[in-house]
Amino acid sequence: MPDWGSIFLPGTPVLEIFVRGTVTFFALLLMMRVAGQREAGGLGITDVLLVVLVAEAAAGGLTGESDSVADGVLLVATILLWSVVVDAVSYRWPRAARLLKARPRPLIDEGRLNRRLMRREFMTREEVLSQLRLHGIQDPAQVKRAYLEPNGMISVLRRDEGEVDDPPEPPARG
Question: What CATH code is carried by the domain that includes residue 131?
Answer: 3.30.240.20
Whether 174 has a pLDDT exceeding 60, the answer reads no
How far is Cα 27 from Cα 20, in angstroms, rounded to an integer? 11
Per-residue buried b or exposed e for 83-110, using 16+ beta carbons within 10 Å of the residue's own CB: beebeeebeeeeeebeebbbebbebbee
How far is Cα 100 from Cα 142, in angstroms, rounded to an integer? 33
Tell whether 93 and 113 lie within a shared domain: no
Q: What is the pLDDT of residue 108?
A: 95
Tell whether 112 and 57 lie within a shared domain: no
Q: What is the pLDDT of residue 110?
A: 94
Sheet holding 162-163, edge to edge: 112-113, 105-109, 143-148, 154-158, 162-163
Residue of 21 and 165 predicted with greater confidence: 21
- Which range among 28-42, 57-71, 101-115 shows the weakest confidence by mean pLDDT? 28-42
Tell whether 56 and 126 lie within a shared domain: no
Q: Which of 100, 123, 149 is the last residue of a domain?
A: 100
How far is Cα 97 from Cα 150, in angstroms, rounded to an integer? 12
Domain range for 114: 105-163
How far is Cα 155 from Cα 137, in angstroms, rounded to an integer? 12
Q: What is the mean pLDDT of residues 35-49?
A: 61
Measured at the alpha carbon of residue 69, what is the angle toward residues 50 and 15, in degrees to the nearest 5? 70
Q: What is the mean pLDDT of residues 59-73?
A: 67
Q: Which of 68, 100, 132 is the last residue of a domain?
A: 100
Residue 103 DSSP code: -
Pairing state between β 143-148 and 162-163: unpaired
Tell whether 23 and 77 lie within a shared domain: yes
- Whether residue 143 lies inside any domain: the answer is yes
Tell whether 87 and 129 lie within a shared domain: no
Tell whether 59 and 120 lie within a shared domain: no
Tell whether 28 and 95 lie within a shared domain: yes
- Whether residue 59 lies inside any domain: the answer is yes
Tell whether 41 and 78 lie within a shared domain: yes
Number of domains in the chain: 2
Tell whether 91 and 116 lie within a shared domain: no
pTM above 0.75, yes or no: no
Residue of 109 and 46 predicted with greater confidence: 109
Q: What is the mean pLDDT of residues 93-109?
A: 88
- Whether residue 27 lies inside any domain: the answer is yes
127-170 pLDDT, tens per residue?
999 989 999 999 999 999 999 988 778 899 998 865 555 665 66
Q: Which of 46, 69, 100 is the last residue of a domain?
A: 100
